[in-house]
Chains A and B, each alone.
Chain A
Amino acid sequence: MCMLCGALSMGRHWAEKDRDAPLRRRERRVRIRLLNRVLGHYGMNAKLWDRGYMLGLSAGPSIRAETLGNLWLEVERVSGRRCDPLDPVLIASLSRASTTQS
């Protein structure tokens, strides 16, 4: 259980199961930045929190998501929009951001 928020821990999600700790730390940094690019499309953002994520709208309370697995459910619930990586509008938005950055 998290001593800060009292949340019960779930078993490790497959996307978090990694023996190589330094690599995992580096990948989590990239992950959170990529997540924020995707979540920006839904008007939301995310921070790493304990072993999970803290999701937020620009104005409003934060919501905890234990894993990547249930993060998308929470995003849909809060944003009221469907999270679909095959959405051509999302794909176009991510492509533009990558092109602009490079």
Chain B
Amino acid sequence: MNVTVTEGPIPVTVITGFLGSGKTTLLRHLLRFPELSDTAVLINEFGEIGLDHYLVRQVDENVVMLASGCLCCTIRDDLGKAMRDLLDRRTNGELPFFGRLAIETTGLADPVPILHTLLTEPVVDQAYRLRRVVTTVDAVNGDAHLARQPESAKQAAVADRIVITKTDLATADQVAGLQARLKRLNPSAAIFLTPSQTLKPDDLLAGAGFATVDKTDDVRAWLSAESHENHAHPVGPRDVNRHDDRIAAYCLVFDEPMDWSAFCVWLTMLLHAHGQDVLRVKGLIHVPGRPGPVIIDGVQHIVHAPQHLDRWSDGDHRSRIVFITRDIARDVLEASLRTFSCAARAIEDTDRDLPGERVASAAGGQVGGRPFRRASAPFWMS
């Protein structure tokens, strides 16, 4: 395996899933592959993984190296500290180079605090970048978990990859039904079946993730509005006592460009009021004046730094935003965003009607042919 020299943030994959859903089995399977030689894995306890067969050497009480070259490390105190320690030890040569990190959330049902650590803790937020969330769901008990455990539905809703495990212990109808239910919860997550499919590390860990997407085509692959429309509503009446029935995934499409300020004001207000119930927001936005779309990606209150692409890949410049929400109706959300967008457009139209005032107030603008302020004036003077 060629070692990948990572100059930018280290990509992170979070592996989550309900108790007994097969996270550890999945991880043990992946750790056998030589392709993971440049990967560090953070887990709670070595004993849970059963690494004896793969162990090459023990670096210290918290770090072991496996036959594949992968580093396996325990989280002793807290995740942020463990991630900073790994980085420090890699930098000063105590640990071999690793180009990516996988975190297994044993015993932690809610993956969002991990994402919070990744995005807000000092050093961690600069040195690491979340690439994807992988969720395991048990083919035999998954239906019951989704119905009765809110954490299970959330894990599936925030996933980029879903692995349905133990398909050999369930009937074909059970597997098909669970797959359809997960597709409805999260239409854009790729779903894999094990052990019927032999998973390779690249299936789950490689490829462009949300935070590293740099091509509009990648974005379109997970934004296909048609799949969201088809899967938005379950067959039959909704049962509000089933946790996943309260969750809906839908894609809002806007033909007109959307003012970035309108979107920011609106989304910050929405997440303030309903962050717990906005399980995922991701999309591409056509902002006037920009050469390419702005990519937005958030999980509950956590929003990645938006990515500003430098071009569109084709002539379809509509804004498309996928929401996975709990107890928030699509039409209410859409009407709200459209109202904010219209309000911003009305403000812009007013500004355009007053060209003299606009030029005079802008840093770098001119009045009577002479500069009003230097173009280098600080932005807050605008």
Residues of chain A at the chain B interface (Cβ within 8 Å): 11, 14-15, 17-31, 33-35, 37-38, 48-51, 68-69, 71-73, 82-86, 91, 94-95, 97-98, 101-102
CA distance A46 to B309 in the complex (A): 31
Against A, the Cβ 8 Å flags (1 = close, 0 = not) of B252-283 are: 00000001111011111110111000000000
**B261–A85 CB distance below 8 A:** no
Residues of chain B at the chain A interface (Cβ within 8 Å): 125, 259-262, 264-270, 272-274, 289-290, 303-306, 308, 328, 332-333, 335-336, 339-340, 342-351, 361-364, 379-380, 382
Residues of chain A lying within 8 A (CB to CB) of residue B351: 29-30
**A14–B339 CB distance below 8 A:** no
Given contacts A11-B125, A34-B344, A72-B269, contact A27 B304 (CB under 8 A): no
Residue ID in chain A nearest B344 by CB atoms = A34
**B346–A30 CB distance below 8 A:** no
The residue that A86 contacts in the complex, of B125, B264, B336, with Cβ under 8 A, is B336
Residues of chain A lying within 8 A (CB to CB) of residue B303: 14
Question: In angstroms, how far is the closest chain B Cβ from the Cβ of A32?
Answer: 9
CA distance A14 to B303 in the complex (A): 7
Question: In angstroms, how far is the closest chain A Cβ from the Cβ of B300?
Answer: 13
How many inter-chain residue pairs (CB < 8 Å) link A and B? Answer: 116
Given contacts A25-B379, A73-B272, A84-B273, contact A15 B336 (CB under 8 A): no
Question: In angstroms, how far is the closest chain B Cβ from the Cβ of A64?
Answer: 13
**B343–A51 CB distance below 8 A:** no
Residues of chain B lying within 8 A (CB to CB) of residue A35: 265
Residue ID in chain A nearest B294 by CB atoms = A18
CA distance A7 to B264 in the complex (A): 23
Residues of chain B lying within 8 A (CB to CB) of residue A101: 346-347, 349-350
Residue ID in chain A nearest B361 by CB atoms = A29
Interface centre among A18, A38, A71, A73 (most CB of B within 10 A): A18
Majority SS of interface residues in chain A?
helix
**B273–A34 CB distance below 8 A:** no
Question: In angstroms, how far is the closest chain A Cβ from the Cβ of B126?
Answer: 9
CA distance A48 to B350 in the complex (A): 20
Would you give 12 A-B contacts (Cβ < 8 Å), ordered by A?
A: A18-B308, A25-B363, A28-B382, A50-B380, A68-B265, A84-B274, A86-B332, A86-B333, A91-B335, A91-B339, A98-B339, A98-B343
Question: In angstroms, how far is the closest chain B Cβ from the Cβ of A33?
Answer: 5
Question: In angstroms, how far is the closest chain B Cβ from the Cβ of A91?
Answer: 5
Question: In angstroms, how far is the closest chain A Cβ from the Cβ of B162?
Answer: 26
The residue that B261 contacts in the complex, of A14, A28, A102, with Cβ under 8 A, is A28
CA distance A31 to B270 in the complex (A): 16
Residue ID in chain B nearest A37 by CB atoms = B343
Interface centre among B265, B267, B345, B348 (most CB of A within 10 A): B265
**A27–B260 CB distance below 8 A:** yes
CA distance A23 to B260 in the complex (A): 10
CA distance A72 to B328 in the complex (A): 20
Question: In angstroms, how far is the closest chain A Cβ from the Cβ of B15?
Answer: 25
Residues of chain A lying within 8 A (CB to CB) of residue B382: 25-26, 28-29
The residue that B347 contacts in the complex, of A15, A33, A83, with Cβ under 8 A, is A33
Residues of chain B lying within 8 A (CB to CB) of residue A83: 269, 272-273
CA distance A30 to B350 in the complex (A): 10
CA distance A62 to B229 in the complex (A): 46
Residues of chain A lying within 8 A (CB to CB) of residue B379: 21, 24-25, 28
Given contacts A85-B336, A98-B346, contact A69 B270 (CB under 8 A): no
**B308–A34 CB distance below 8 A:** no
Residues of chain B lying within 8 A (CB to CB) of residue A21: 379
Residues of chain A lying within 8 A (CB to CB) of residue B348: 30
CA distance A25 to B376 in the complex (A): 12
**A94–B340 CB distance below 8 A:** yes
**A30–B349 CB distance below 8 A:** no
Residues of chain B lying within 8 A (CB to CB) of residue A84: 269, 273-274
Residues of chain A lying within 8 A (CB to CB) of residue B265: 31, 34-35, 38, 68
Residues of chain A lying within 8 A (CB to CB) of residue B361: 29
Residues of chain A lying within 8 A (CB to CB) of residue B306: 14, 17
Residues of chain B lying within 8 A (CB to CB) of residue A17: 305-306
Residues of chain A lying within 8 A (CB to CB) of residue B290: 20, 23
CA distance A51 to B378 in the complex (A): 10
Residues of chain A lying within 8 A (CB to CB) of residue B350: 101
**A34–B269 CB distance below 8 A:** no
**A72–B261 CB distance below 8 A:** no
